[in-house]
């Protein structure tokens, strides 16, 4: 058995130890951290098999064992309050730790509960989706949605430990598996050209869920994100690079009422638009642009996004990256060479949205 | 006009600038901090006069102007959500700042909202009670109560600025004025023997609400607390010293259903018990013990607490400072010389509770 890969993110009180490897679920007791030795387990219905193995690994040391709804609609302050109430009713102390076993919704809301219970208790994540392994579980952003939008209430509260075992992906629906991989290749495109190249070669094996290439891609993506959030723990320019594909991505997602497109699928379309703009406003070569589109094409098919400019425009202008100068976006001068363009005219975004396809 | 006193607490992202002085309310625009220049005002009915002066000082730059219920029963996650909703509906951005104008309940809940909206926006406090000036507004603890107890949900989120102007105490009921002063003299007893001595001399003038001696006592107390929280921003041993009088104080408060005794009043009884125990288990002299009791007597009269051991005991044992070794408490070896006693037998606490009086 190969030894797990260890990735460090953050420093001091905000340090996260990230592990990628096979067999981590059953050995969880030796890696998950609780100062008291007691844990509060929060999970959802989907990843029951993974949760069961964590439960078995932690034996009788569960103070709370709670299953929550993991649909985006349930990512609310009310759900965070339910978790907090369960923890407080069980007599949680400041040295007990939470363990979130699930995808991005579970880790976002459970992590936020950990941030506010007793003004913050330690927590751990066992991600059970490709998106959570590559992206959501890393960087300390926790939070819930409100009627005004996504992630508008939250806290920076990095987990102590992230335990990513491919066995936890068992039972993950194919569509979600593929959508999550978009965030993984996104990380390669902004931060690791050799990972991008390698993943082009291994993608068929990754899609067949072969352990080694899957771990290499997801772990590589996590390493890119960990390096960025370590240099920029809050919201500086470096961290903004992670938003590659997210300007139009968020607009596509919102225009579809968060129903028709999964987050990773919307980001895939958003990346295609950013590639189009990078050809016009940055130094991205035709060849590198085509490499990106080809990868997205292999990760799809993705449902069609809303492209009608009149429908899309209000969602684009609502973006927090919008200003009088235009709507900021992340473009590429090449694979692994991202830059921020602060002033892309809305019309250029909307034109790109109308034009994009993965056929190149 | 005397120049205001400036006290610094915390460092870096957690630094607070604390101002004590007359005239600060009307000059608020030059001292309250908002990176964008826009403010969200949160206040309550009691301190309407102070809020009106802040409103006038900030002119048209209020994005939100909200009055909340400031009773302890309203210090809930629901109230925090109401504030967050108002902020988000008004289009709050990460560079806007909140201003809480009120007592401890308003600053606790509004500060918590500031901590979680957009994962944290800057905030300011204009305390309008003696307790908030001496204690509640300083140190970064924000939070709300739950059905399991007080302050069980919250965040560390220090305000950027605290603006303490005695004019903000106008209209504060006498009972609340006196109860809040208990926290001020408590700070002197644990951290500033000369402030303790001075306040014995000036107490009549303080109780007559004379500006200079009142500012000296409250500002001195704030300086003690600021020094402690700067050395110990989270919850280490140094910060625990602030709990002088709070072990039995919390039990008295809870046993009275949070109705019969105000927090400061319960702490006054708790301090009397700690003085009794300090005579037996620490080096506090009879003379210094009597000085403390005499001050509390002058600050009173306070309603009688529940003293029945069978009623009090469960509240005492529920304390987070309880362990198998006993219930920890802060005792004094002398005025200005506190120490932690980790293992005071519950029976000793209950005996002290039965014995205490301010007559000495």
Question: pLDDT, tens digit, for every residue of A338-348?
Answer: 999 999 999 99
Q: Which of B84, B119, B148 sits opposite A156 (nearest CB)?
A: B119
Name the 3-class secondary structure at B353.
helix
> Checking DSSP bridges between strand B141-146 and strand B149-156, what pairing results, if any?
antiparallel
Computed over every residue of chain B, the mean pLDDT equals: 94
Contacts of A141 in chain B (CB under 8 A): 119
**Cβ atoms of residues A332 and A189 within 8 Å:** yes
User: Can B342 be counted among the known catalytic residues?
Assistant: no
Q: Which of A81, A89, A155 sits opposite B77 (nearest CB)?
A: A81
Mean pLDDT, residues A207-230: 96
pLDDT recorded at residue B1 = 63
**Cβ atoms of residues A246 and A267 within 8 Å:** yes
pLDDT tens per residue, range B88-136 = 999 999 999 999 999 999 999 999 999 999 999 999 999 999 999 999 8
Q: Which of B94, B117, B147 sits opposite A153 (nearest CB)?
A: B117
Q: Is residue A11 scored above 90 in pLDDT?
A: no
Is A119 in contact with B149 (Cβ distance < 8 A)? Answer: no
Q: For chain B, what percent of residues have pLDDT higher than 90?
A: 87
Is B149 in contact with A88 (Cβ distance < 8 A)? Answer: yes
pLDDT recorded at residue B317 = 87
pLDDT tens per residue, range B27-47 = 999 999 999 999 999 999 999
Nearest to A106 by CA among A62, A54, A46, A161: A46
- Match 């067949």 to its residue by tokens: A208
Cα(A5)–Cα(A19) distance, rounded to whole angstroms? 6
- Match 């400036």 to its residue by tokens: B6
Count the Cβ atoms, other than its own, within 10 Å of residue A13.
9
Length of chain A: 360
**Cβ atoms of residues A40 and A87 within 8 Å:** yes
Q: Is residue B209 scored above 60 in pLDDT?
A: yes
Name the 3-class secondary structure at A161.
strand
Nearest residue on chain B to A118, alpha-carbon basis: B152
Min Cα separation A279/chain B (Å): 32
Which of A14, A87, A142, A153 would best serve as a mutation to test chain B binding (most B beta carbons within 10 A)? Answer: A153
Is B148 in contact with A320 (Cβ distance < 8 A)? Answer: no
B209 vs A139 pLDDT, higher one: B209
Contacts of A153 in chain B (CB under 8 A): 84, 88, 116-118
pLDDT tens per residue, range A165-195 = 999 999 999 999 999 999 999 999 999 999 9
Mean pLDDT, residues B203-225: 97
pLDDT recorded at residue A292 = 98
Q: Is residue B79 scored above 70 in pLDDT?
A: yes
pLDDT recorded at residue A211 = 96
Q: For chain A, what percent of residues have pLDDT higher than 70?
A: 98
Is A155 in contact with B153 (Cβ distance < 8 A)? Answer: no
Q: Is residue A320 scored above 80 in pLDDT?
A: no
A308 pLDDT band (50/70/90 cuts)?
very high
**Cβ atoms of residues A178 and A131 within 8 Å:** no
User: Can B235 be counted among the known catalytic residues?
Assistant: yes
User: CA torsion, points B292, B294, B295, B299, in degrees to nearest 10?
Assistant: 140
Is A155 in contact with B94 (Cβ distance < 8 A)? Answer: no
pLDDT recorded at residue B359 = 72
Q: Is residue B360 scored above 70 in pLDDT?
A: no
pLDDT tens per residue, range B244-292 = 999 999 999 999 888 899 999 999 999 999 999 999 999 999 999 999 9
Question: Does this complex have an ipTM over 0.95?
Answer: no
User: Can B13 be counted among the known catalytic residues?
Assistant: no
Active site residue ranges of A: 119, 141, 183, 225, 235, 239, 243, 246, 250, 263
B320 pLDDT band (50/70/90 cuts)?
low
Helix axes A286-299, A193-207, angle to 10 degrees: 30
pLDDT recorded at residue B60 = 78
Q: Where are the alpha helices (DSSP H) in A90-140?
A: 104-116, 130-131
Please list, in sequence order, all residues whose beta carbon lies within 8 angstroms of the beta carbon of residue A163, skipping any fewer than 6 positions away: A19, A24, A25, A28, A31, A32, A124, A125, A126
User: Can B225 be counted among the known catalytic residues?
Assistant: yes
Min Cα separation B136/chain A (Å): 16
Interface of A with B (CB under 8 A): 77, 81, 84-85, 88-89, 93-94, 115-120, 141, 143, 146-149, 151-156, 235, 320
User: Can B243 be counted among the known catalytic residues?
Assistant: yes
Tokens of A345: 């005219």
Is B153 in contact with A116 (Cβ distance < 8 A)? Answer: yes
**Cβ atoms of residues A263 and A179 within 8 Å:** yes
Q: Is the peptide bond before A304 cis (omega within 30 degrees of 0)?
A: no
Nearest to A144 by CA among A235, A101, A81: A81
Q: Where are the alpha helices (DSSP H) in A93-232?
A: 104-116, 130-131, 174-191, 193-207, 211-231
Tokens of A194: 């050799």
Count the Cβ atoms, other than its own, within 10 Å of residue B213.
19
Q: Which of B88, B151, B155 sits opposite A155 (nearest CB)?
A: B155
Contacts of B148 in chain A (CB under 8 A): 85, 88-89
User: CA torsion, points A106, A107, A112, A114, in degrees to nearest 10?
Assistant: 100
Is B155 in contact with A94 (Cβ distance < 8 A)? Answer: no
Is A119 in contact with B81 (Cβ distance < 8 A)? Answer: no
Tokens of B257: 């259903």
Cα(B101)–Cα(B54) distance, rounded to whole angstroms? 8
**Cβ atoms of residues A81 and A68 within 8 Å:** no
**Cβ atoms of residues B293 and B337 within 8 Å:** no
pLDDT recorded at residue A1 = 63
HEC states along A7-71? EEECCHHHCEEEEECCCCCCCHHHCCCCCCCCEEEEECCCCHHHHHHHHHHHCCCEEEEEECCCC
Cα(B169)–Cα(B164) distance, rounded to whole angstroms? 9
Is B235 in contact with A94 (Cβ distance < 8 A)? Answer: yes
**Cβ atoms of residues A172 and A129 within 8 Å:** yes
Is A117 in contact with B153 (Cβ distance < 8 A)? Answer: yes
A158 pLDDT band (50/70/90 cuts)?
very high
pLDDT recorded at residue B13 = 83
A137 pLDDT band (50/70/90 cuts)?
confident
Is A153 in contact with B115 (Cβ distance < 8 A)? Answer: no
Q: Is residue A95 scored above 70 in pLDDT?
A: yes
**Cβ atoms of residues A306 and A255 within 8 Å:** yes
pLDDT recorded at residue A152 = 95
pLDDT recorded at residue A237 = 86
Q: Which of B88, B235, B320 sits opposite A152 (nearest CB)?
A: B88
**pTM, rounded to two decimals:** 0.95
Cα(A124)–Cα(A111) distance, rounded to whole angstroms? 8
Q: Which of A120, A143, A146 sits opposite B88 (nearest CB)?
A: A146
pLDDT tens per residue, range B125-180 = 999 999 999 998 888 999 999 999 899 999 999 999 999 999 999 999 999 999 99
Q: Is residue A17 scored above 70 in pLDDT?
A: yes
Residue contacts between A and B (CB atoms, under 8 Å): 68
Contacts of B93 in chain A (CB under 8 A): 320
Q: What is the DSSP letter of B32?
A: S
Is A148 in contact with B115 (Cβ distance < 8 A)? Answer: no
Contacts of B120 in chain A (CB under 8 A): 155-156
Cα(A27)–Cα(A96) distance, rounded to whole angstroms? 19
Contacts of B88 in chain A (CB under 8 A): 146, 148-149, 152-153
């Amino acid at each position: 058995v190969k030894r797990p890969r260890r990735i460090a993110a953050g420093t001091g009180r905000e340090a996260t130890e990230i592990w990628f490897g096979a067999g981590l679920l059953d050995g969880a007791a030796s890696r998950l951290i609780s100062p008291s030795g007691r844990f509060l387990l929060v999970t959802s219905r989907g990843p029951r098999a993974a949760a069961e193995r964590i439960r078995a690994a932690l034996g009788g040391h569960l103070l709370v064992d709670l299953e929550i709804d993991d649909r985006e609609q349930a990512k609310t302050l009310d759900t965070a309050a339910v978790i907090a109430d369960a923890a407080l009713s069980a007599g949680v102390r400041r040295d007990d730790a939470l363990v979130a076993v699930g995808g991005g919704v579970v880790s976002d809301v459970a992590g936020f509960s950990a941030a506010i219970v007793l003004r913050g208790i330690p927590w751990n994540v066992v991600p059970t989706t490709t998106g959570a392994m590559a992206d959501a579980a890393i960087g300390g952003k926790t939070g819930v949605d409100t009627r005004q939008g996504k992630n508008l209430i939250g806290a920076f509260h990095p987990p102590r430990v992230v335990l990513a075992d491919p066995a936890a992906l068992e039972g993950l629906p194919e569509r979600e598996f593929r959508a999550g991989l978009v965030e993984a290749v996104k990380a390669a495109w902004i931060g690791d050209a050799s990972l991008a190249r390698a993943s082009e070669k291994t993608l068929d094996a990754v899609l067949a869920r072969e352990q080694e290439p899957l771990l290499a891609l997801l772990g590589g993506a996590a390493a890119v994100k960990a390096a960025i959030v370590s240099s920029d723990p809050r919201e500086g320019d470096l961290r903004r690079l992670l938003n590659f594909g997210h300007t139009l991505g968020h607009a596509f997602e919102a225009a579809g009422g968060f129903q028709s497109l999964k987050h990773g699928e919307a980001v895939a379309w958003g990346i295609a638009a950013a590639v189009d703009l990078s050809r016009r406003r940055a130094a991205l070569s035709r060849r590198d642009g085509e490499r990106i589109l080809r990868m997205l094409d292999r990760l799809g098919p993705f449902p069609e996004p809303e492209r009608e400019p009149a429908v899309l425009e209000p969602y684009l202008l609502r973006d927090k990256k919008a200003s009088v100068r235009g709507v900021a976006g992340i473009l590429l001068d090449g694979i692994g060479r991202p830059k921020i363009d602060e002033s892309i005219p809305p019309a250029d975004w909307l034109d790109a949205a109308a034009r994009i396809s993965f056929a190149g």
